[in-house]
Amino acid sequence: MTRFICVLALSAIPMWASAQQFNYTFLELGVFEGEVEDADGEGFGFGGSMAVTEEFHAFAGYSNLEPDNANVDFSTTNVGIGFNTSLSTTTDLVLQAAYVRAEAEFGAFDSEEDGYSLGAGLRTWIGNGLELNGGLDYVDYGGNDDDVALNLGLLYSLNSSVALGVSGSWTDDPDSAILGLNARFYLGQ
């Protein structure tokens, strides 16, 4: 149960946005599918980020994962702050820290865990309107309930207000691979 929650938390952390100058104010919707310890599942997520200054942003998100052939529902909520700075004219470094709450529901049984996550990633323009992003995220619920994920994504900006993307998240313990499709709607420049 905790392994599903860790994977869900790692896949739910909103890390990047896209526009010719990186925009950290957006709303995001997504769907994902994946495998965790040989169990297939589908899910959805939504979240957002808001630039507070040129170098700081606040973010929040929610995601839900339902494994196939199981009467269980995993959800994760996170709220955090991030620091972003330019490394070059085409690349930003993004550091984030968040409070994470994970919940598992098995019919009438309900389990909740609180923890934190830390993330470090890069966003880089690889073409006109095409952003490649990636990074590592660490989530810890205390005790032995922690994990690290490799996250990769590709976003294409249709215009200054909308971007479509694909993303992936991989962890080792538990062994997982989550692939997703998302849409981002920018609310400011």
- Structural domains of the chain sorted by starting position, each given as residue range(s) with its CATH number in brackets: 2-186 (2.40.160.20)
Give mean pLDDT, residues 125-142: 93
What letter does residue 1 receive in the DSSP assignment?
A: -
Express each pLDDT in 71-112 by its tens digit: 788 889 999 999 999 999 999 999 999 999 989 888 788 888
Residue 6 has pLDDT above 70, yes or no: no
Task: Give the whole-angstrom CA distance, residue 179 versus residue 19.
Answer: 22
pLDDT at residue number 74:
85
Fill in the amino acid letter for 20. Q
The CB density around residue 56, as the number of other CB atoms within 10 Å, is 14
Residue 69 has pLDDT above 60, yes or no: yes
Q: What is the pTM of this model?
A: 0.84
Residue 140 has pLDDT above 50, yes or no: yes
